[in-house]
Structure 1
Amino acid sequence: MDSNTELLVAWRSGLSGWDALVDRYSRLVWSVPRSFRLSQTDAADVYQCTWLCLAEHLTRLREPERLGVWLVRTATRQSLTVLRTRGREVSYDLWEPASPLPAPDEVAVTNDRQRRLWSALMTLSERCQQLLRIAAHSPELSYAQVADALGMKLGSVGSTRTRCLADLRRKVEGLR
């Protein structure tokens, strides 16, 4: 498999390195806006902007082998920008048939659970937040892809995830 450095050099030379980079990191880049629960349209915008930023900053990348980390950070910044721009509006797809509304008590319980979960998640370290978002929204990613994206050692992904989940569980329980 070609290294990121080799692929970037090939792309700069006009060869097919770009397609290989997109194939390698596409799912990872998509996982970031999905983890922020952006609408499909906003997630697609973040995805495209992330790749555009890479094209614009290609000559300034100092550590091509840490490209996954760079892409996650860029997509995260883009996602946060979209959230700030859009506020907290909820996007409804007008083409989808409307489902029956849940009972008010179900809504209250669900909202309370979500509030406690998000409040607890925001108290975790940045690394735990990123790791748990990727795990929740892109479970198909391998440990190697997650390690590359977050700049972690491959052998520490599972144990770190376990510690982060245990910490999150304790914090959610403390918010009851």
Structure 2
Amino acid sequence: MLDGTIRASTNLEDSEDRIVVGRCVDGDVAAFSVLVRRYTPLMRAYARRMLSGSADVDDIVQDVFVAAWHRLPELREPEKVKSWLMRLVSHRCIDHIRRTGRETGLDGWDAPAEADASPSRVAENNARLRALGEALRSLPEDQRECWVLRELGELSYGEISSELDVPVSTVRGLIARARKSIIVRMEAWR
């Protein structure tokens, strides 16, 4: 019997999202644990970037999974569970930022170092990241939110539009202005 349980769990691990979500909607806790294992690392990394190293990252991800368990039956396209979970995390992060007055930025994010990076190159990369963080902090809040959701969160314009409840054309304009401002501010690093 134990062998059958292990085999079923392994098969579920390899299943497509739509199948796993269908099992979750039917109340299968093992299927839900597959979603948790599958998407927790991505959700934590995204929340950590949005919240600049806040200690609340794990709490937010856990809250999202609790809400997701209850709201999964509302998901119309189960194959899009990944983007749905990321939107939920994004909503929670934005709510947290608004509630606490924190700014989004790159302060808590360390760029991966190249294997052969010299100390001077590492220092230069850190200075470049600090400059980018300052450029982001100089943006108006709506531009910064759109830029972070697009560039760090990898959300589509439509997803950002839904997330922030603004038209797609507004999202495009805000991101274009943010990019232009960042390019100007980062000119010295080209």
Note closer, same or farther for the CA distance 1:63–1:46 as it changes in structure 2 (3 Å cut): same
Specify the SS of the correspondent of 1:9.
helix
The two structures, once aligned, show a CA RMSD in angstroms of 3.4
Structure 2 Cα separation of the partners of residues 70 and 46 of structure 1: 15
- Do the aligned partners of 1:7 and 1:17 also contact (CA within 8 Å) in 2? yes
Counterpart for residue 116 of structure 1: 135
Counterpart for residue 23 of structure 1: 37
1:9-41 CA-to-partner distances (Å, cap 9, x unmatched) read 22233432111111111111112210121412x
Gaps of 5+ in 2: 1-13, 104-128, 158-174
Counterpart for residue 149 of structure 2: 130
Counterpart for residue 18 of structure 2: 5
2:188 is aligned with 1:174:
no
Structure 1 Cα separation of the partners of residues 98 and 144 of structure 2: 21
Equivalent of residue 35 in structure 1, options 49, 63, 69? 49
2:76 is aligned with 1:62:
yes
Specify the SS of the correspondent of 1:2.
coil
Structure 2 Cα separation of the partners of residues 111 and 125 of structure 1: 18
Structure 1 Cα separation of the partners of residues 92 and 135 of structure 2: 26
- Do the aligned partners of 2:137 and 2:144 also contact (CA within 8 Å) in 1? no
Structure 2 Cα separation of the partners of residues 63 and 113 of structure 1: 37
Q: Which structure has the larger Rg over C-alpha atoms?
A: 2
Is the deviation greater in 75-84 or in 117-126?
117-126
Structure 1 Cα separation of the partners of residues 71 and 35 of structure 2: 15
The residue identity in structure 2 corresponding to 1:129 is V
Structure 2 Cα separation of the partners of residues 62 and 113 of structure 1: 38
**1:52 Cα deviation (Å)?**
1.3
Normalised to the residue count of structure 1, the TM-score between the two structures is 0.57
Counterpart for residue 120 of structure 2: none
Structure 1 stretches (4+) deviating beyond 2 angstroms?
11-15, 110-115, 117-126, 128-132, 170-173
**1:77 Cα deviation (Å)?**
0.8
Structure 2 Cα separation of the partners of residues 51 and 125 of structure 1: 23
- Do the aligned partners of 1:32 and 1:79 also contact (CA within 8 Å) in 2? no
Note closer, same or farther for the CA distance 1:125–1:85 as it changes in structure 2 (3 Å cut): closer
Is the deviation greater in 9-18 or in 111-120?
111-120
Gaps of 5+ in 1: 90-109, 135-145, 153-163
Structure 1 Cα separation of the partners of residues 156 and 80 of structure 2: 7
Higher RCO (C-alpha 8 Å, min separation 6): 1
